[in-house]
Amino acid sequence: MRIGMAVWSSVCSILCGFLMAPMVFSAGEESDESAFKEVREVVKQLQARYERTKDLQADFTQKTMIEGFERPITSSGKVYIKKPGRLRWNYLDPSVEDIHVNLDNIKVYVPEHKQVLVGKLTQMAASKAPLELLQGAARLDESFDIEPTPGKGRGVGGIRLLTLLPKSREGGAGSSLQRIVLEVFPKTYFIRTISLYEVSGNVASFEFSSLQSNIGLSDSVFDLKLPADVEVVRAPVLSTPQ
């Protein structure tokens, strides 16, 4: 896959189930109260938007900066989401890779290799959190604290950026992620960009465009049709989900 399973599942989790439950905010100084007030408003609007969203499709561009390399690795494609728990993440450029998630089942198809990787999302991610988040069943406040993003701290339209800090680094994405920074679109409050900062120094950034929601995506969009000569490879199990 283009990025690690734990990091990729974090992106999917945020898109599919982000803010389906109340958030907990990191405590700030009294002088930061204005910034935290803005963050709470962004969270409120973002939660309301995704609660009203039954399905969603968008284009995405991904840039991954690998520690020690000067130039980012760039790719692009389309993402399709349908509640509960259906997702298709389709890389189109520079090569094709098709990732399908249906509840706990995941298939990663690489036409160039004539292989499809088949497994359980929870087992491949070494945590049951990605599945619960895809289904909108987990409480993200159990995994993250949210606070204003330092420095510039604002995105398009001057809206406050959100920084998510993993509460635990034991297992799953928490072991590799240092923080996640989110930017939303003005007015609609859909997620515009997600930047994942890994402990290793790698940074994976995703920018979404041409978003369409509640368009009645058919289940057939999420059905993976494979040629007869494709080799099926069973995904390795990282650990027993906790």
Residue 223: CB atoms within 10 Å? 11
Say if CB 204 and CB 62 are below 8 A apart.
Answer: yes
Other beta carbons within 10 Å of 235? 16
Q: Is the pLDDT of residue 180 over 90?
A: no
| C-beta neighbour count of 229 within 10 angstroms | 6
- Name residues whose C-beta falls within 8 Å of residue 123's C-beta, 6 or more positions apart in sequence: 235, 237, 238, 239, 240, 241
Higher per-residue pLDDT: 138 or 46? 46
Residue 131's pLDDT band (cuts 50, 70, 90): low
From 91, 86, 90, select the one nearest 105 (Cα to Cα): 86
Class in CATH terms, 5-234 = mainly beta
Longest dimension (CA), the chain: 63
What mean pLDDT is predicted for residues 136-140?
52
What the block records as the tokens of 80 is: 């399709």
Q: Indicate if the pLDDT at residue 114 is higher than 90.
A: yes
Q: How far apart are CA 130 and CA 224, in angstroms?
A: 21
Q: Looking at residue 15, what is its pLDDT? A: 62
Q: What is the pLDDT of residue 30?
A: 41
Read off the pLDDT band of 10 (50, 70, 90). low
Q: How confident is the model at residue 229 (pLDDT cuts 50, 70, 90)?
A: very high
Separation of alpha carbons 59 and 79, rounded Å: 6
**How many Å apart are CA 203 and CA 210, to the nearest integer?**
24
The residues near 69 (Cβ < 8 Å, ≥ 6 apart) are: none
At 30, which amino acid appears? E
* β-sheet bridge partners, residue 203: 65, 197
pLDDT digits (tens, 9 = 90+) for 17-56: 443 444 555 544 444 788 888 888 888 888 788 888 899 9
Average pLDDT estimate for 202-218:
93
Percent of the chain exceeding pLDDT 70 equals 73
SS3 for 16-42 is HHCCCCCCCECCCCHHHHHHHHHHHHH
